Amino acid sequence: MTGAGPTSGQAIEARGLTKRFGSIVALDGLDLDVPRGSIFGLLGPNGAGKTTTIRILTGLARPTAGTASVVGVPVGLDEPELRRRLGYLDQDPRFYSWMKGRELLELVARLHGLSGTELRSRVGKMLAVTGLSGAAERRIGGYSGGMRQRLGIAQALLHDPQILFLDEPVSSLDPEGRRDLLELIAGLRGEATVVFSTHVLSDVERICDRIAIIHRGRRVTEGPLEDLLAAHARPIIRILPAPGQDELVAALVDRLRAAPWTTDVAIAGDVIRVTVSDPETAARGVLSIVAATEVVIDLFERARPTLEDVFLELVGPAAPDELDGRGFVRPREVSDR
Amino acid sequence: MTGLGTLLRKELLEQWRTTRLPVVATVFLLVGLSSPLLARFTPELLKAVAGDQFQITLPSPTVADAYDQLAKNLGQFGALIAVLLAMGAMATEKERGTAALILTKPVSRAAFLVAKLIAIATTLGVSTTIAAAGAWFYTLVLFEPLPVGGFVAAAILRWLALVAYGSITLLGSTLTRSALAAAGLGVAAFIVLGILSIAPSIGRFLPTGLGAPARGLALGQAGVDVLGPTIATVVLIAGLVGVAWLAFRRQEL
């Protein structure tokens, strides 16, 4: 397995990463370039291959095919040099229940070669940053899910890693904890590379410099948020009709759907969401149709496209037959060779 | 072996905190104390149970009976405890996800595995020492003193045999994600080794083959062949750990 040298501007270079579990294809020739110092969002529906990608890049799993390097070190199952440079938080972090929070962090610090005053100082700092100082002397077995997640963040950041892999890091956090963590990650911009997997689009919009969307094991798109919005998000017009006009609203929706410049008309709650191909023509056309159908409206606006629009445009809502029993997108299957 | 010292410290702390070490040491102490007692009083107990209805003639117990009782008890309870100690060492960590926590740190898989073996060997070592000390003292009280040097050497050989059973189970625990399957392998190995030990040409090179030299040393006999069985068992343990490492370094977590 070969990869970029230590002088490369990329923190991660992956080429053709493929992972099969029997006939199931979890990753299908994934290419990934993550610039050093960036906060990189790895987006995708459940079962898209995000966790598999992170597990390969952290050396917990082996690709069936393809190559990857992380901060210049080729990835591999038994590669301590790779681990020296990375921090990793699992989506469901597990710890030794008999240990105290402080002991766990001290163990991790020692494994990273820290000792003495530096060890105590780093451990104390991370306990404070993650709000666990008060629980440091308690057994981890008694921690809540949110506390375990915060401990996971503390152990991942403890040694100032060059690259940080966070797999669904906010899944168990309350709103305050989530805000704090996102601020913490944003504060690492330029100092460390952060790879952040999630399906919470607003979190990605808030802190990520670059985004890759993965679907069914393949990279669908990748780039800075603004570029993705420009390339993939279609302009949207939102209309909020005044209440009590059901028949008129139905007629309005029908006429909007028939217009040549609409690509989609959806009703979300009370709001009609019109996706259009030509925003200038559409703005005039929508108002004409509203006037013609005599619908009284409370709101008319051209909405700024969001990452959700890009995501839905590229990935789309999964059809029922594409989901498994857990609500995960069913991976592709190939015949065994 | 990057990280061995730190991992060993964690493993030893775990042996203590999860009460494995205190519990095993207590069981071994009871085995050590009860063995000479059983040897000394079994004939009297049998006579008392039989009463006047049966005429039982038993030879007077000797110091050799005291040692044999200890060897039998340690060989059975000790081996079972070695299997119990090692069965979840790797499998449970893999299954619970804590192996992934540690192995995303700068730690070699060899260090992770060897730290486990040393911790198991330490718990067995401390416990065997306590059992041997208790047994030696009660043998002194109830029979006569056994040679200290020989008794210590015998305890070391007994410990080595237990570590071998622990290593077999540790291999099973590495190959599977099930502690139960690992225990099955350990128990199966115990039975198979017991059967193979009947053949003298093979038996003396198995962990069971350490029993005879250990007995000779404990009772102060001359001309005991220690080297062959000891080297064979050490090689077996090293081989088992080597196979476990080869398997573990290719495993996904």
pLDDT surpasses 50 at A2: no
Contacts of A140 (CB under 8 A, 6+ apart): A95, A96, A97, A98, A99, A100, A101, A104, A148, A151
Cα Dmax for chain B: 72
What are the tens digits of pLDDT across the range A234-250?
778 889 999 888 889 99
B6 interaction partners in chain A (CB closer than 8 Å)? 107, 110-111
CA of A60, closest CA in chain B: separation in Å?
A: 5
Q: Per-residue confidence at A332, pLDDT binned at 50, 70, 90?
A: low
Average pLDDT for A55-59: 94
SS3 content of chain A, % helix, strand, coil (to 5): 35, 30, 35
Measured in whole angstroms, the distance separating CA B114 from the mean position of its chain's CA atoms is 17
Beta bridge partners of A1: none
pLDDT in the model for residue A335: 57
Least confident interval from A122-136, A258-272, B13-27: A258-272
What are the tens digits of pLDDT across the range A145-182?
888 989 999 999 999 999 999 998 887 788 888 888 88
Q: Do B104 and A77 make contact, defined as CB atoms within 8 angstroms? A: no
Average pLDDT for A138-145: 93
Q: What element of type H or E holds B218?
A: helix B211-218
**Chain B interface test: which of A56, A107, A114 (most B C-beta within 10 Å):** A107
Q: What are phi and psi of A322, to 5 degrees?
A: -90, -10
Q: Do B18 and A98 make contact, defined as CB atoms within 8 angstroms? A: yes
Residue B223 CA to residue B213 CA, distance in Å, equals 9
B105 interaction partners in chain A (CB closer than 8 Å)? 83, 108, 111-112
DSSP characters over A271-305: EEEEEES-HHHHHHHHHHHHHHHT--EEEEEEEPP
What are the tens digits of pLDDT across the range A280-328?
788 788 888 988 998 999 988 887 777 877 787 777 666 666 666 666 6
Please write down the long-range contacts of B192-198, taking CB distance under 8 Å and 24 or more positions apart: none
Which of A83, A94, A111 is facing B98, going by the closest CB pair? A94
A:72-101 residues touching chain B, CB 8 A cutoff? 77-78, 80-81, 83-84, 86, 88, 90, 92-96, 98-99
pLDDT in the model for residue A303: 77
CA of A202, closest CA in chain B: separation in Å?
A: 28
Task: Determine how β-strand A193-198 pairs with β-strand A163-167.
Answer: parallel
Q: Do A78 and B251 make contact, defined as CB atoms within 8 angstroms? A: no
pLDDT in the model for residue A244: 86
What whole-number percentage of chain A has pLDDT above 90? Answer: 42
CA dist B84 → A34, A65, A98, B168, B203 (Å): 46, 39, 19, 12, 24
Structure tokens that stand for B103 in this block: 């192995």
CA of A15, closest CA in chain B: separation in Å?
A: 20
Q: What are phi and psi of B216, to 5 degrees?
A: -60, -45
Contact criterion met (CB below 8 Å) for A44 and A213: yes
A99 interaction partners in chain B (CB closer than 8 Å)? 17
DSSP letter at B51 equals T
Whether B249 and chain A come into contact, CB under 8 Å, resolves to yes
Q: Per-residue confidence at A4, pLDDT binned at 50, 70, 90?
A: very low
Cβ contacts from A onto B, under 8 A: 71
pLDDT in the model for residue A7: 44
Whether B92 and chain A come into contact, CB under 8 Å, resolves to no
Helices B109-142 and B63-73 pack at an angle, to 10 degrees, of 150
**Chain B interface test: which of A94, A104, A119, A149 (most B C-beta within 10 Å):** A94
Would you give per-residue pLDDT tens digits along chain B (253 residues)? 788 999 999 999 999 999 999 999 999 999 999 999 998 888 778 777 777 666 667 778 899 999 999 999 999 999 999 999 999 999 999 999 999 999 999 999 999 999 999 999 999 999 999 999 999 999 999 999 999 999 999 999 999 999 999 999 999 999 998 899 989 988 898 888 888 888 878 888 889 889 999 999 999 888 888 899 999 999 999 999 999 999 999 999 8
B12 interaction partners in chain A (CB closer than 8 Å)? none
Nearest residue on chain A to B4, alpha-carbon basis: A111
pLDDT in the model for residue A278: 78
Q: Do B105 and A83 make contact, defined as CB atoms within 8 angstroms? A: yes
Our CA angle for A182, A186, A191, nearest 5°, is: 140
Residue B92 CA to residue B150 CA, distance in Å, equals 39
Which of B6, B13, B97 is facing A110, going by the closest CB pair? B6
pLDDT in the model for residue A337: 44
Nearest residue on chain B to A164, alpha-carbon basis: B104
pLDDT in the model for residue A3: 41
A60 interaction partners in chain B (CB closer than 8 Å)? 100, 103-104, 252-253
Which of A81, A86, A94 is facing B101, going by the closest CB pair? A94
Other CB atoms within 10 A of residue A292 CB: 11
Residue A267 CA to residue A272 CA, distance in Å, equals 5
pTM equals 0.82
Helices B4-17 and B20-50 pack at an angle, to 10 degrees, of 50
B107 interaction partners in chain A (CB closer than 8 Å)? 80, 83, 111
Q: Do B2 and A92 make contact, defined as CB atoms within 8 angstroms? A: no
Residue A56 CA to residue A1 CA, distance in Å, equals 12
Residue B169 CA to residue B164 CA, distance in Å, equals 9
pLDDT in the model for residue A1: 40
Residue type, B115: A
CA of B11, closest CA in chain A: separation in Å?
A: 11
